[in-house]
Amino acid sequence: MNGPTLRTLTGAVAANVAGIRTRTRSMIMAVVKADGYGHGAVTVAEAAVAAGAGWLGTTSVGEACALRAAGLAVPILAWLHASGVDAEAAAAAGVDVAVGSVDELGALVAQAASTVRVHLHVDTGMSRGGCPRRQWDELIGVAQRGHRARRVRVVGVMGHLPLADRAEPAANAAAVAGMREALKAVRAAGLGSPLAHLAATSGALTDPATHFGMVRIGAGLVGIDPSGTVEMHGASRLTAPIVHTSAVPAGTPVGYGGAYVTYRAAHLSVLPVGYADGIPRELSPRAGVEVRGRRFPVAGRVSMDQIVIDTGDRYFPTGTSATVFGPDGGATPSVHDWAHWAGTIPHTIVTGIGPRVRRSIA
């Protein structure tokens, strides 16, 4: 009997890349941070590149080097550097780095022994990272000095859209204007015509004005559209076997605190997944899983290692497979259903599946 398994559906990743391609003429970067949104960074990256993504994106240089070690040769950008930019590793692996502050760029210029490809990260309204507008001139000045010393080469300018999930192009206008201003300043400084990228999944799907030279697709790779405007292909299926079943009378309390009480005689089945595996502890009473074509409710509170489902008059033997979520529709819940039941976003569902859950590729 196999334990809980998360299957990554590479065909769905490819279909999502193809869907994005119909909406933009810009290059596509497949962002595989957070281990490919919980689906396996290398697995998702390979599927996306095979489907036409020309770039990959990661948070760190270390993650980018792991993709290189797996044989992925397309350009890769890393843009979060918790311990500073590892210039030597980036240059050796041919990994681009985004730099969003004067101090960070200055440190990179000071330590680089060979030329590092840099994307200037400018704040276009997120106030979460990127160089603030008042320091753009200083940032560009440091880039000029690094360029003259052959320590850095500016090949890109990036920003973020803080309001793209609204799917209203007017909400993106200020960020688009900021990106154009930054590009103009970089070109005027003699740093060439770098690749500009501003939009993530929502912008790519809803606002062509944000596309510039490249769009960055992360959640969209695995079937999540944060704007809620486009139906995409879910790229994962989480299954778990029934490990225990009991028949109980009406009025039986279930789980810690007895928050759920059976209203008639029923069968209760236990699945070996819990909040330590990424199942949200706080769920609405509508939460359920699919077993043999029917949806059955989660009964009682989620435990650390298990959940209970009420299958009513249906008895299922040990080893019967239940689908916690998947892309199938009908009785099978989606990650969006689980996000709704937990009062969160689908990103937290797929990235929260823990390491005890076996991974496979389909």
Domains defined for the chain, CATH in brackets: 10-222 (3.20.20.10), 236-361 (2.40.37.10)
Mean per-residue pLDDT over the chain, rounded: 97
Sorted by sequence, the CB contacts under 8 Å of residue 355 that are 6+ apart come out as none
Confidence band of 180 (pLDDT split at 50, 70, 90)? very high
- Which tokens hold the place of 80? 């979060």
Confidence band of 222 (pLDDT split at 50, 70, 90)? very high
Asked about 33 being catalytic, the answer comes back as yes
- Residue 39 and residue 278: Cα distance in Å, rounded? 13
User: Dihedral, CA atoms, 309, 314, 315, 320, nearest 10 degrees?
Assistant: -60
- Which tokens hold the place of 342? 């937990």
pLDDT greater than 80 at residue 167: yes
Q: Identify the residue whose tokens are 């695995």.
A: 222
pLDDT, one tens digit per residue, over 234-258 is 999 999 999 999 999 999 999 999 9
Confidence band of 2 (pLDDT split at 50, 70, 90)? confident
Confidence band of 83 (pLDDT split at 50, 70, 90)? confident
pLDDT greater than 90 at residue 38: yes
- Given a contact cutoff of 8 angstroms between Cβ atoms, the answer to whether 272 and 296 are in contact is no
Starting at the earlier edge strand, list the strands of the sheet with 266-271.
244-248, 266-271, 307-312
Q: What percent of the chain has pLDDT over 90?
A: 98
Confidence band of 82 (pLDDT split at 50, 70, 90)? confident
What are the beta bridge partners of residue 8? 236, 361
- Which tokens hold the place of 66? 């792991």
> How far from the centroid of its chain's Cα atoms is residue 220's Cα?
8
User: In 3-state terms, what secondary structure has residue 132?
Assistant: coil
C-alpha distances out from residue 324 to 22, 274, 287, 304, Å: 32, 11, 10, 16
- Residue 140 and residue 138: Cα distance in Å, rounded? 5
What are the beta bridge partners of residue 357? none
- Given a contact cutoff of 8 angstroms between Cβ atoms, the answer to whether 141 and 197 are in contact is no
C-alpha distances out from residue 177 to 127, 158, 161, 183, Å: 16, 13, 11, 10
Asked about 256 being catalytic, the answer comes back as yes
DSSP line for 278-327:
T--SS--TT-EEEETTEEEEB-S---SS-EEEEEET----TT-EEEEE-S
pLDDT, one tens digit per residue, over 283-326 is 999 999 999 999 999 999 999 999 999 999 999 999 999 999 99
Catalytic residue among 184, 256, 263, 315: 256
The binding site for substrate comprises: 128, 304
User: Dihedral, CA atoms, 203, 207, 210, 212, nearest 10 degrees?
Assistant: 110
pLDDT greater than 80 at residue 351: yes
CB atoms within 10 A of CB 10: 20
- Given a contact cutoff of 8 angstroms between Cβ atoms, the answer to whether 271 and 240 are in contact is yes
- Residue 243 and residue 211: Cα distance in Å, rounded? 49
The reported pLDDT for the residue numbered 244 is 98
User: In 3-state terms, what secondary structure has residue 259?
Assistant: coil
- Residue 151 and residue 254: Cα distance in Å, rounded? 64
pLDDT greater than 90 at residue 166: yes
Pairing of strands 236-241, 260-261: unpaired
The binding site comprises: 128, 304
The reported pLDDT for the residue numbered 1 is 75
pLDDT greater than 90 at residue 84: no
What are the beta bridge partners of residue 295? 290
The reported pLDDT for the residue numbered 220 is 98
pLDDT greater than 80 at residue 108: yes
The reported pLDDT for the residue numbered 131 is 97
The reported pLDDT for the residue numbered 46 is 98
